């Protein structure tokens, strides 16, 4: 059984609730990520995704908009010790592409649908030609 801890990203990009939305988007672009964890101190308060940013743009957000105004609050999470199959099921049924990974009450990482596709395809790589 493959567990989330073996495939998640530990190199987290986080933002504060009062960070400007535009600054958060710039940081996401610079790192090439589709989601950032919104933290209230050391507590996970939400997740800001590409989809959240798209909604903000479509709504004509103001330049003083804050992460807290557009993030997804209380996101679904998964434990680092859970199976990757469980993570995939949560994403498919929930309609999202990123899951914060927890170790008890502490944020341990984030796992994406791309990470899970790598797990699914690792045994399907072409062999010897």
In a domain, 55, yes or no: yes
How many structural domains is the chain composed of? 1
Domain around 43: 4-123
What is the model's pTM? 0.89
In a domain, 33, yes or no: yes
Q: What are phi and psi of 25, to 5 degrees?
A: -65, -40
In a domain, 129, yes or no: no
Over the chain (129 residues), the average pLDDT of each successive run of 10 is 93 97 97 97 97 96 93 97 96 96 96 92 66
Domain CATH number, residue 118: 3.10.580.10
């Amino acid at each position: 059984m493959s567990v989330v801890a073996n495939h998640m990203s530990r190199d987290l990009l986080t933002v504060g609730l009062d960070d400007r939305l535009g600054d958060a988007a710039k940081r996401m672009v610079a790192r090439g990520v589709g989601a950032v964890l919104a933290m209230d101190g050391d507590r996970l308060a939400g997740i800001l995704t590409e989809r959240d940013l798209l909604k903000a743009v479509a709504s004509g957000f103001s330049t003083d908009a804050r992460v807290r105004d557009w993030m997804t609050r209380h996101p679904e999470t998964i434990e680092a010790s859970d199976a990757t199959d469980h993570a995939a099921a949560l994403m498919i049924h929930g309609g999202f592409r990123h899951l914060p990974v927890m170790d008890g009450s502490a944020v341990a990482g984030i796992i994406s649908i791309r990470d899970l596709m790598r797990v699914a395809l690792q045994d399907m790589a072409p062999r010897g030609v």
